[in-house]
């Protein structure tokens, strides 16, 4: 049972809502009026509070700033045609932040703070959830170690917060991706499966180098041989070859996306053959070269379904089939976004609605 007790609210006296242009939202730069905050001290979580969004005060010795005990999550809230708010499978994100936390020696977050926290925070700022097509409210829970201590050890105290941001689309056009064969995102036994802050820092230089060559994002490969496709760093990758939907299995190096899992469930239900198996880069490139790579796309909360228009590998660049011709990514991608927005029936009861 979730503890549905009311969370204490300190309301803002200066709502910024009227200053926001909902027709032109950048990703992740505008924040709603309120945030949720909870502190972990003396070995337990203290009562969460909802407070006006604003700067937080930290010691310069805060351990997360030095040693990276920091994990986060990402979700989206949509408004359905009746004006109700939908949040897609938040219990999956709750489970995942706790798996990430465990790997980084951080405490588990309670359902009351995470799930009920999202519900009460987003309810309070419900007028910040956009109505515009392709727009939503991005929900960012995160936790950091807060001990003001420079010794390398797990922090005793932690801060958990949820901030929310009304957003437009993340990628506005089909992508040009490159298979990365020099740098590594995650190695077996590491933290690749966790939404841990450090994973994103180490991916920035390789991504920037690729962006300097006009490439949008990287497709990461295994750390050992750079021979197998892993994921794209903010989204899981899927390919369609011979009419079959293929995606690598998740393990310690691939983040288990909620979008990925949901996409596979809907694809199987629609009668498609789904294979969760390693995809060799050699196979991917050979089908791309012979024109048999029917679809290639990324799936993730931020990006939704991101079609890949061009694929680069070493000195070659392949133009993939026209986006309109892509059956599975269009059909299932539209079904999934429809469920999230409340325009397609949610037969799995995936949405938390309030």
Ligand X SMILES: *Cc1c(COP(=O)(O)O)cnc(C)c1O
Contacts to ligand X by CB under 6 A: 74, 195, 231, 233-236, 255, 257-260, 300-301
| For ligand X, the closer CB: 62 or 301 | 301
Separation of CA 189 from chain center: 22
Question: What is the closest distance, in whole angstroms, from the C-beta atom of residue 236 to ligand X in the complex?
Answer: 5
Tokens coding 332: 């299932």
| For ligand X, the closer CB: 141 or 300 | 300
Q: What contacts 24+ positions apart, CB below 8 Å, involve 213-219?
A: 213/178, 214/176, 215/176, 215/177, 215/178, 215/312, 216/171, 216/175, 216/176, 216/177, 217/175, 217/177, 217/178, 217/298, 218/177, 218/178, 218/179, 218/180, 218/183, 219/177, 219/178, 219/179, 219/180, 219/311
How many whole angstroms separate alpha carbon 258 and alpha carbon 98? 14
- From residue 287, alpha-carbon distances to 68, 140, 264, 338 in Å are 40, 38, 22, 31
Interhelix angle for 258-269 vs 90-103, to 10°? 130
Question: What is the closest distance, in whole angstroms, from the C-beta atom of residue 75 to ligand X in the complex?
Answer: 8
| For ligand X, the closer CB: 94 or 119 | 94
Exposed, middle or buried by CB within 10 Å (0-12, 13-18, 19+), for 322? exposed
> How many residues are present in the chain?
354
| For ligand X, the closer CB: 250 or 312 | 250
| For ligand X, the closer CB: 235 or 337 | 235
| For ligand X, the closer CB: 247 or 301 | 301
Question: What is the closest distance, in whole angstroms, from the C-beta atom of residue 177 to ligand X in the complex?
Answer: 14
How many whole angstroms separate alpha carbon 284 and alpha carbon 114? 39
The angle at the Cα of 154, spanning 149 to 158, to the nearest 5 degrees, equals 80
| For ligand X, the closer CB: 38 or 235 | 235
| For ligand X, the closer CB: 145 or 192 | 192
Question: What is the closest distance, in whole angstroms, from the C-beta atom of residue 196 to ligand X in the complex?
Answer: 9
Question: What is the closest distance, in whole angstroms, from the C-beta atom of residue 231 to ligand X in the complex?
Answer: 5
Question: What is the closest distance, in whole angstroms, from the C-beta atom of residue 249 to ligand X in the complex?
Answer: 14
Question: What is the closest distance, in whole angstroms, from the C-beta atom of residue 112 to ligand X in the complex?
Answer: 22
Separation of CA 35 from chain center: 19
Question: What is the closest distance, in whole angstroms, from the C-beta atom of residue 270 to ligand X in the complex?
Answer: 19
């Amino acid at each position: 049972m979730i503890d549905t007790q009311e969370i204490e609210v300190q309301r803002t006296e200066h709502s910024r809502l009227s200053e926001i242009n909902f027709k032109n939202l950048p990703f992740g730069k505008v924040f709603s009026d309120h945030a949720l905050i909870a502190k972990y001290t003396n070995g337990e979580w203290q009562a969460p509070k909802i407070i006006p969004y604003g700067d937080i005060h930290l010691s310069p010795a805060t351990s997360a700033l030095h040693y990276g005990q920091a994990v986060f999550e990402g979700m989206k809230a949509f408004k359905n045609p009746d004006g109700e708010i939908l949040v897609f499978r938040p219990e999956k994100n709750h489970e995942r932040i706790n798996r990430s936390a465990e790997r980084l020696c951080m405490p588990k977050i309670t359902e009351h703070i995470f799930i009920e926290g999202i519900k009460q925070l987003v309810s309070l700022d419900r007028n910040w959830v956009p109505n515009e097509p392709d727009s939503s409210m991005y929900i960012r829970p995160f936790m950091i170690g807060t001990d003001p201590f420079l010794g390398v050890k797990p922090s005793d105290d932690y801060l958990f917060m949820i901030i929310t941001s009304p957003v437009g689309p993340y990628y506005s056009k089909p992508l040009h991706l490159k298979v990365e064969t020099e740098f590594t995102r995650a190695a077996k036994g590491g933290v690749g499966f966790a939404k841990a802050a450090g994973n994103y820092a180490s991916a920035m230089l390789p991504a920037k180098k690729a962006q300097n060559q006009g490439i949008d994002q990287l497709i990461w490969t295994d750390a050992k041989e750079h021979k197998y496709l892993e994921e794209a760093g903010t989204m899981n990758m899927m390919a369609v070859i011979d009419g079959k939907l293929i995606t690598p299995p998740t393990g310690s190096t691939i983040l288990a996306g909620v979008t990925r899992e949901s996409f596979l469930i809907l694809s199987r239900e629609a009668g498609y053959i789904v294979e969760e198996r390693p995809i060799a880069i050699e196979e991917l490139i050979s089908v791309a070269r012979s024109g048999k790579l029917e679809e290639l796309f990324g799936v993730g909360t931020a990006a939704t379904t991101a079609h890949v228009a061009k694929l680069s590998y070493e000195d070659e660049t392949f133009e993939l089939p026209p986006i309109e011709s892509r059956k599975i990514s269009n059909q299932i991608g539209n079904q999934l976004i429809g469920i999230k927005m409340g325009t397609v029936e949610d037969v799995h009861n995936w949405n938390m609605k309030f």
